[in-house]
Each structure stands twice: as structure tokens, then as C-alpha cells.
Amino acid sequence: MLINTVMHVVLLAAAPPLMLGLIQRTKAWLTGRKGPPLLQPYYDLYKLLRKGVVLSKTTTWIFRAGPMVTLVTVLLGGLLVPFGASAAPLHFKGDVILLIYVLALGRFFTSLAALDTGSSFEGMGAAREVTFACLSEAAIMLGLLVLIKFSGSLSLNTMLRAPEEHAFAMLPVASLMLAAVGMFIVLLAENARIPVDDPATHLELTMIHEVMVLDHSGPLLALVNYGAAVKLFVFAALFLHFVPPVPMGSPALNWAVFLAEMLGVALTIGFVESLMARLRLTHVPTLLVAASLLCGFGFILMLR
């Protein structure tokens, strides 16, 4: 139990940048480039932490608080989501709502920090962020309802791990598959990946997340980037629970399976980003509505 918790916390704190490195490597590999080293995101964070900060005259305390608040919220979210078949360190009945709302707290501060600069680019990014969140929040809620209905539990720890605990034949595979596709779209949208956003460019016209943090620099930017990596990691762990699982084994085996699955998610994201173009901004809502509908259909299939 204690080892589980330590493992969870260590992975949550240390692994997220590696996942970014894996995605970058996958993309490089698919496009025939050599690509940056796997540990490049860590080097970047280290470099940024040592740098100075440029603050805009326009900003207030919110600008500086934003990245830190966002990081704290995603870390708390990460403590609530069980990684694979192992239990999450924090759990209580109804923690599913806390997960959604604590992520909303992060969004609140990221958007305000963006508006704090008075730049229209960052205003644009904040507007898109809060707009698309309205759609993705419905999708997440409906997706989680599938598992709530299936497991009869309101705690992430039990409901998310319910697929692992049941025999494959008893699983509502159709519902889970529909919800999994929906949740994968949400994963891409919430973490600013292609086809919704492009983390690699700084072209403001189609961007969401990158454009909100244009004015952050030095350690603040390090916090932003690290927070974004943790968020991707948490969403990937959440998404994995919708994929029909490998049955539970020993604790060590569970962790191995989880890491392998996360590697799979990283590769999948890399594939998607290499094979698809970014959508036009006006088409993003359509994609997110599709995600909500998929999760909704998944839930309706549970109602028989």
C-alpha cells in the first residue's frame, strides 16, 4: 500500500516530461528525423528554472499566481486518478466531482493570467480555452457516467478500476469503446494536441494553450510547461481506464502494465499528430460535440 502510494507520487512528479519526450520522438521517427533526446523536456525545464523573469507592467499578482495554481490543481487531480490497476493515494466518495472542479480551478487561473497581460493574443487563447471547456466538460461528465453506472460507485478509485476488476465477458464493451473514443478526443483537446491545437508552433491564429502563456518566462514558464505535462499524464491515465483492460495481476505486474499502456498512449498521440493536420478552429466544437455524443451514446447503451 505504502509502496503503491510512493510509486504513484514519484511517477506523477517525475514521469510527465518523459511522456512529452516520447511523443516528440515518435513524431520525429515518423517524419524521418532524428529528433531531440528523450530527456529534452527535463533539460528545458532545468534551463528555464535558472533564467530570469520578464514581467509585464500591466500584470498583477494573478499573472504570477496562475502557473503555480494550475500546477497545484493538476497535481491534486493526479493524486485522485488511479494509475492502472493500482489504487490512487487520495480517494473518497464523490472525488470525481473534485477532479473536474479542481481542473476548472486551474483553467480559471490560467485564463485570468492570460487576460492579465492585456494582450489580445492571450485574450484570444483564454476565450478559446473557456469556450471549448464547456463542450469537453460535458463529454467528460458523460464518459464518467458510463463507469459510474457500470460500477455503482462514485469514487474514482472504484469506478475507474471497475473494468479491471470484472471479467471481460461482463464488461459493457460497446459503451466503453464509445466512451474511450470520446475521452481520447477530450484528452487531445484539453491538452492542446493536434488536431485541436499544436504545441509545437507559436502561430497565434489557431492556438489555444500556447497563446495563453506567451508572456510567461523563466521559472514561470517552467511551471506552465511542467503543469501542462502533468495534465497530459493525468488525462492519459484517466483515458486508459476506458480501454478494455488487462486483468489485474500482482502489484509489480500492474505497474509494468500501466507503464506499457502509457507508452502506448504516447505513441498513439505521436501517431495522431504525425498523420493528421490541425483542424480549422471553427471545426473544433464539432469534434468536441462528437466526443460528447459518443460518451452520451455509451451511457444510453448502459440503460437497458
Residues numbered 127-156 forming contacts with other proteins, rule: CB under 8 A: 127-128, 130-131, 133-134, 137-138, 140-142, 145, 148-149, 152-154
Nearer Cβ to other proteins (60/256): 60
Which of residues 10, 37, 56, 275 is near other proteins by CB under 8 A? 56
301 touches other proteins (CB under 8 A): no
**Residue 28, interface with other proteins (CB under 8 A)?**
no
Q: Could you tell me if 24 and 36 are in contact, meaning their C-beta atoms sit under 8 angstroms apart?
A: yes
Instruction: Please give the Cα distance from 280 to 164 (Å, whole number).
Output: 38
Q: Considering the complex, state which of residue 21 and residue 182 has its C-beta at the smaller distance from other proteins.
A: 182
**CB-CB contact of 42 with 17 (8 Å):** yes
User: Applying CB under 8 A, which of residues 115, 185, 186, 288 lies at the interface with other proteins?
Assistant: 115
Distance in Å, CB of 116 to other proteins, minimum: 4
Residue count, binding to other proteins (CB under 8 A):
77
Angstrom CA distances, 232 to 76, 169, 205, stand at 14, 31, 23
Both ends of the chain: CA-CA distance in Å?
37
Does position 197 bind other proteins by CB under 8 A?
no
CB 75 within 8 A of CB 8: no
Q: State which residue, 98 or 272, has the beta carbon closest to other proteins.
A: 98
* Distance in Å, CB of 141 to other proteins, minimum: 4
Nearest alpha-carbon partner for 160 in 106, 96, 98: 96
**Residue 81 zone, left/alpha/beta (φ > 0; ψ -120 to 50; rest):** beta
- Which range binds other proteins by CB under 8 A, 30-38, 95-103, 167-175, 268-276? 95-103
Q: Does 112 bind other proteins (CB under 8 A)?
A: yes
HSE, CB side, 13 Å, CA atoms: give it for residue 154: 6
